[in-house]
Structures are given as structure tokens and as C-alpha cells.
Amino acid sequence: MGFFLKTVSFSLLITVLTLGNSLKAQHSVAIMEDFDSPHTNHFTQGDEDLYYSVIEDGYYKVTHKRNERGYLWYFSDRVLPHKDFTIESKMIQKSGPENQAFGLVFATKDGSSYHYFTITSTGYYEVGRYNDEKYTNKVDWTKTSLINPQGKANTLSIEKKGSKITFKINGEYMTSHEEKQFFGFNVGIYIVKNSTVWFDYFAVKYETDKLLLADQNFLSEKENLGKNVNTIYEELVPRISPDGNTLFFSRNRHPDNYGEEKKDDIWFTQLTRNNTWSKAKNIGSPLNNDGYNFVSSVLPDNNTLLLGNVYQKDGLMKGGVSISHKTKKGWGFPEKLNIKNYYNDNKYSSFCLDPTGKHLIIAAERDDSVGDKDLYVSHLLENNEWSEPENLGSIINTILGDFTPFMAPDGKTLYYASEGKPGYGSADIYVTKRLDDTWTSWSEPRNIGPQINTPNWDAYFSTPASGEYAYFTSSESSIGKEDIFRVKFRETEEQNIAEKPKKEKKGKAKKESSILPDPVVLIYGKVIDAKTLKPLGAKINYEDLDTHKNLGVARSNPSTGEYVITLPYGLHYGIHAEADQHLSLNENIDINEAKGYIEKKLDLKLTPIKVGSKIKINNLFFEKGKPAILPKSYPELNRLGKLLKENQNIQIQLAGHTDNVGHPLSLIRLSEERVKAVKEYLINNGIKEYRMTGKGYGSKQPVAPNDTEENKQKNRRVEIVITKV
């Protein structure tokens, strides 16, 4: 606190100084409060021992109530000493001794050292500093005719450029001096001895880089989602599922919300067949309770939600983040994510998971933050804990707030809101691309433009895997305080990659812009029991077959068996599904060649562990015409070995098959040699030889005609038959 001062923490409204819609006029970001709204939470109002304050009639009215030494009132924000800035306020002394000072200050975080610029209504001004418990005046009380008398407005400004600090009254230069030591971080007002001062506005401006606009590729005007979704209440945090069919959002103060205070609850709506949104429903407990509830991320499987705050069994909430999985009875109780050395010094936080579920983006204020909230990344560790948050760096983070991150389904394109970059309003949405696997190297963030960003506070952006629409929150043209809108991002031609590709539309080539996420392949289907055809709850891993690296985990809905995963182009993937009392199933898909957004249906049939059950080892690869096993087969064979180790009573037969290219005897010999190679690999990994028999059938037992390369690939296989359990 320091002596005779009060520190008040808040987040100031941010605006950009513009002239009409001219981008050339967007020179600086300003922290600004004009006091036009009496409901602002940015400045404290009340009647205390030393002061009375209220916001009304477009002014912040402050009275110092005692006849004693000066009183300092700080508004805590980020005035960084090494940055160039301007502090400015318009003020009127309404009553009190005309020879007593009032004005502006900026100071250290604890208020122990500060610069001041004060005037009196008798026409004097003073410039100085307080440090090491003593005052040093740079300009002693000096008379000037530029100061208006009591009852009239005066505008004071303090401008810092480099080591030079300049002081102006009503726009006119008064003095300047070189300053070796600047005190920063807090800005505020100075009032003394039974005075009442009205403040018309309060601003801090920073010179910034020029506004960088992303290449815009919106194909429609923004569209309010309508009364099935939006109400007179606040609708915030829209999170669209990657398949584009379910939209989760939070709704504030609705009478159907949980608890007496009706705080934010999670609601959801689903896309109907005629492309309209169903009437939104409250998602219910356990995801909603008396606290603040919201969805931070929807994982691609549609069965996993990342949730703000930590849920406790007593119904209370703590700071942090939780995860919930769908069960046969509905959404499971949210479980806390354990993040090493997690703390947040800010009242607010936001989170998002990347589509793999292995990388968590966090908006929080920490010791190494550049601004009041920075973006960080935490990685999933092998023990199911999360690494200590690492700052994403100065390319992304600014001296003000950076928050509401959303990682697109490509795992590279990050959208987030920032108050510290040139823009159109108090907070704008920006886009950046991850350049490598360090998670600290990013492209220069770009403003996504005025079609989404407004003069108001804009945040909460998400897009499905198709990239067809962008969903966001806005108060402009809204039904209530905040509504959910969407805008068309790009045309899509969804197709099943097993089908014949559709012909390209004639006309201009589509321009893929930096504002858009990279295209992905969406794999969807059901996990079912191969014998009963009943749905199964399964864990689905997908990996890079060339590097053996596990890339992500999905879950199927235990009631319906449905699952979804999204795969970026450029890799040969292995997909591995496992469920209790079933043989694991492995598929592979090669999507090295980018073809735009594609959907592929892939049902996964898991065979129960019973005598006679048969399963193909899908991700098993040999050198062409030889029995040598290729390294990309190792993950598959290691999982088979793990199954045999965990089930010591199981014995199997390995059956080798080929296509019909070659002499029948040679093909039988090749299939036998490949079976032998698989047995030897498993023996070398700890499986007893007596538990395995093998036979080569050559081309005698095809599962498809040998008329195409695709069908021949189906016939080139090794199968497992369970002979004992």
C-alpha cells in the first residue's frame, strides 16, 4: 500500500483512436475510460473514511474528505517504464481550496515511488518525483495563464519518449526533462485536502506497430444465430464441436440456470437437418452447479469437454481447469487437470486444448507475464500430469491482456483476443500460426478484420474442422447484451475419401488465406463389437507410423459407439482402438497428399477375446516381395506383444496371406516366411514360442478380388486366430 495511498486493481477499457474507418489513423492503442456508463466496474465507487466517489453524468466524481496531507489513488495497470506512452485526463475542480493540488501520477507497483504532475485552480503547476521517502521537484510551483479556474476543465498529459518526459496543460507544452529512472506499472489521480474533482476521461496511450490485417476470406456477412440460441441474457464462450453439429456456450443470469445467483451455466444447441439450430438446452449437472460454468474446448471425439474451474464434490469451485468424459449415463463428473506449479494472479483465466488433447493453452497472469494476462502452454506428461506453463513469447503476448485462446483442428492455427495490439475496439481477435514443435515460435499475429472485430469487446472465437464457419460473441446488433454470431469462412466440398472425388467447380481458384486453418481429414464412425454389433466405449489412439510417435487419444461414446478424430495432412497414420475383453483393432490411413477438407467414415469392429476369434494385423508392413518387417510395423507388433503378456493364457495362430502376383508355391513360401518373421519378433520381445503357431496360405484365401491395387493390398495380410484362452 505505501503511506497515504490506495491501490485499486482493475482492467481498463481499451479502444483504438481512429478517424472513421481509415486504417491509417490507427496509430496507437489507448487504455481509456470515458465514464459514460455508471455501471463500469473499472473504477471503485463508494463512501469510505477518506474519500467519496461515484460515476454519474459522464464523470468520475471524487471527493477527498479530510483536511490533511495529500491523498494518492492508483489505478493498477501496465505502464511499462521502457515503453513510450502518454497519460492524459480531463478534470474539473468543483470545490475545495483553490490553492490545493490535483493531477496525475504514475508509480511503482507498491506505490513507494512515483512521478507527479499537479495543478491548482489558482493557476500554478508543479512537476516532480517521490523516491527514497523524499520529494524532488523538477519544476517548483510555477504560474501559468493556461490553467482554467475552479469549475472549468483542464486537460493534463504526460508524454514519455525514450528518456525524455514532456508535460502539457490543455494541449500546450509546459516543460520537459531527461529522466534516468522511470517509475511505472501504476497510473492514477492525485487529490488533496477537502477537494472534489470530476474526471471527464482517463487514458493511457501506447505507440504500437502498424495494424496487421489477415487476408480476409469471409464469404458472408455475420449472422446472428437467432432466438433458439440467443436471448435477452448474455451468451458467451461459443465452442463448436469439430464436426460442426453441436455448439456449447455459457449463458448468464438466465432463470433456468442453477443456483440462487444464476451465474453462468453451460447450454448447448444442435444443428438440424435443415441447417438451423435447435432450441438451446441447459446441459445440467454435474457440469452445471452454483458456480461459473463454461466449456473451454470440445475435443474432436465429441465425447470430451475441457471446462473452466476445478469442480469439487461439495459443489464449490476453485481456480484451474477440469475435463469431463461422456459415460453411459451422460457427462461424467469433471476431473481436475494437475498442472505443475500452476497459479494465476489474475481474477480471470481461459484455456483451450489442442485437437490431440496433449497441449493446453492457458491465459493467466504469472511472474514472467508481459501483460496482465499472457498465453502459456502446458504439455501432457506420461504420468497424466501437465508440465509447468511456458510463456508463448513476445510475438503473441503484449503489455495488456491476451486471452480466450482457441486452437483450430489443424493443431497449428491459434485464434485469441488481445487488448494490446492495434485494432478496432477494446479487444480484438487475432490469428497466428505455430511454426514448429517448440510452441514458442509463431507467425506475426494478424487482426482478422472489421467484419468480426468491432469498436466493442470482441473475443471467444471457434471454428469446426471444415473451417466453413467462424463462431464468435458480439454485442453489436445483438438480441441481448452479448449474442453468438457466425460468419462463413470458406466453401467446403465434403467427401468420403473412399468415394470418387467430386469434380472441381469451374471459376476462380479459391484463395487459401492466412486467416484460415489448414485443411484436415475428419475420421468418423462407430466402435462396435464384431460379433454382437453392439456399441463399445473404447480408447482410440492415433500415431505417426513412420516415427512411432503417439499423436493423440480419442474416446468413443459408450452408449452409441460414435467417435470422431481430425488428422492434419502430411503423415501416414495408424489408428488403434482398444476396449476391455476385446482384441485391439488397428487401421492405417495415408494422407500425405493434401486434398482439402475431407470426411471419411471408418467403423471400428473389435473382436471379443474368444477361441476362434480372428483379427487382421492391419499396420504390418514388409519389404516388397520379401519377409523383412518394416520399422513402421513395430508399434503394431508391440501392442500384440503387450496383449499376450497381459493375457498369459492366450495362445494364437498366425496366418499369412498374399495377393496372386507370382507363382503359387513362391507365394506360399513368402507367406510362411513372413509369419516366421512375426513369430521371431514376438519371441525376441518376451513371448514364449509355444504360445504361437503359424501357417502360410499364399493366395489361397483372398478376402477380395485381385483386380485392383487396393484389393490386392487387402489380400496381403497376416491374421491372428485365438486358439486358447
Whether residue 36 contacts residue 16, with contact meaning beta carbons closer than 8 Å, is answered with no
Q: Give the pLDDT score at 77.
A: 52
pLDDT at residue 502 above 50? no
- Is 55 a member of any domain? yes
181 vs 559: which has the higher pLDDT: 559
pLDDT at residue 185 above 80? no
- DSSP-derived 3-state class of residue 693: strand
Q: Give the pLDDT score at 497.
A: 39
Whether 18 and 148 share a structural domain: yes
b/e code 94-115 from CB counts within 10 Å (16+ = b): bebbeebbbbbbbbbeebbbbb
- Is 498 a member of any domain? no
719's grid cell: 491374421
- Is 502 a member of any domain? no
Residue 704 CA to residue 690 CA, distance in Å, equals 32
pLDDT at residue 714 above 50? yes
- Is 496 a member of any domain? no
Whether 696 and 596 share a structural domain: no
Q: Give the pLDDT score at 424.
A: 80
Whether 15 and 145 share a structural domain: yes
- Is 348 a member of any domain? yes
Q: What is the pLDDT confidence band of residue 619, given thresholds at 50, 70 and 90? A: confident
644's grid cell: 499376450
Whether residue 19 contacts residue 128, with contact meaning beta carbons closer than 8 Å, is answered with no
Q: What is the pLDDT of residues 114-147, one digit of tens each?
A: 889 999 999 999 999 888 888 889 999 999 999 9
If you count them, how many residues does the chain have? 725
Report the percent of the chain where pLDDT is more than 90: 53
Using the 3D structure, point to which of 207, 234, 265 is the last residue of a domain.
Answer: 207
Whether 601 and 623 share a structural domain: no
Residue 263 CA to residue 474 CA, distance in Å, equals 20
pLDDT at residue 214 above 50? yes
Whether residue 147 contacts residue 123, with contact meaning beta carbons closer than 8 Å, is answered with yes
Whether 423 and 294 share a structural domain: yes
Residue 516 phi/psi, 5-degree rounding, is: -90, 145
DSSP designation for 714: H
pLDDT at residue 347 above 90? no
pLDDT at residue 175 above 60? yes
Q: Give the pLDDT score at 391.
A: 96
Helix (H) / strand (E) containing 3 = none
605's grid cell: 469392429
Q: Give the pLDDT score at 41.
A: 47
| Average pLDDT over every residue of 701-710 | 88
Q: What is the pLDDT of residues 428-484, one digit of tens each?
A: 999 999 999 999 999 999 999 888 988 788 889 999 999 899 999 988 878 878 899
Q: What is the pLDDT of residues 188-207, one digit of tens each?
A: 888 888 899 999 988 877 66
Whether 46 and 106 share a structural domain: yes
Using the 3D structure, point to which of 157, 181, 207 is the last residue of a domain.
Answer: 207
- Residues paired with residue 554 on neighbouring β-strands, in sequence order: 540
Question: pTM of whole model > 0.85?
Answer: no
Q: Give the pLDDT score at 303.
A: 95
Whether 420 and 362 share a structural domain: yes
Q: Give the pLDDT score at 277.
A: 96
Whether 481 and 359 share a structural domain: yes
| Average pLDDT over every residue of 207-218 | 74
What average pLDDT does the chain have?
Answer: 85
Q: C-alpha angle with apex 175: 169 to 179, nearest 5 degrees?
A: 120
Q: Give the pLDDT score at 483.
A: 92
Q: Give the pLDDT score at 430.
A: 95
524's grid cell: 468418423
Domain total of the chain: 4
- CATH no. for residue 564? 2.60.40.1120
Whether 189 and 280 share a structural domain: no
Using the 3D structure, point to which of 207, 231, 246 is the last residue of a domain.
Answer: 207
Torsion angle in degrees (nearest 10) through CA of 425, 76, 36, 189: -130
Residue 675 phi/psi, 5-degree rounding, is: -60, -45
- Is 500 a member of any domain? no
Q: C-alpha angle with apex 277: 275 to 278, nearest 5 degrees?
A: 125
Residue 52 CA to residue 60 CA, distance in Å, equals 11
How far CA 561 is from CA of 558, 621, 663, in Å, comes to 5, 29, 43
- Is 273 a member of any domain? yes
Q: How much of the chain is in helix, strand and coil states, percent to nearest 5? A: 5, 45, 50
Q: C-alpha angle with apex 120: 116 to 121, nearest 5 degrees?
A: 150
| Angle formed by the axes of helices 634-646 and 664-684, nearest 10° | 60
498's grid cell: 473412399
Q: What is the pLDDT confidence band of residue 362, given thresholds at 50, 70 and 90? A: very high
Whether residue 485 contacts residue 223, with contact meaning beta carbons closer than 8 Å, is answered with yes
Whether 273 and 167 share a structural domain: no
Q: Which domain does 720 fall in, by range?
A: 610-725
Q: What is the pLDDT of residues 272-286, one digit of tens each?
A: 988 899 999 999 999
Q: What is the pLDDT confidence band of residue 72, given thresholds at 50, 70 and 90? A: low
Q: Identify which of 565-574, 580-589, 627-636, 638-647 has the greatest average pLDDT.
A: 565-574
Q: Give the pLDDT score at 581.
A: 87
Q: What are the strands of the beta sheet with 413-418, ordered from one edge?
A: 402-407, 413-418, 428-433, 446-447
80's grid cell: 511499462
Q: Give the pLDDT score at 81.
A: 62
- Is 269 a member of any domain? yes
Q: What is the pLDDT of residues 628-680, one digit of tens each?
A: 898 888 888 988 888 888 888 899 999 999 889 899 999 999 999 999 999 99
Whether residue 632 contacts residue 571, with contact meaning beta carbons closer than 8 Å, is answered with no
Q: What is the pLDDT confidence band of residue 3, given thresholds at 50, 70 and 90? A: very low
Whether 146 and 293 share a structural domain: no
Residue type, 127: V
Whether 457 and 529 share a structural domain: no
Q: What is the pLDDT of residues 513-544, one digit of tens each?
A: 468 899 999 999 999 999 899 999 999 999 99
Residue type, 265: D
Q: What is the pLDDT confidence band of residue 48, given thresholds at 50, 70 and 90? A: confident
Whose grid coordinates read 490553492? 99
The 3-class secondary structure across 557-576, one letter per residue, is CCCCCEEEEEEECCCEEEEE
DSSP-derived secondary structure for 44-76: --EE-SSEEEEEETTEEEEEE-SSSS-EEEEEE
Residue 505 phi/psi, 5-degree rounding, is: -70, 145
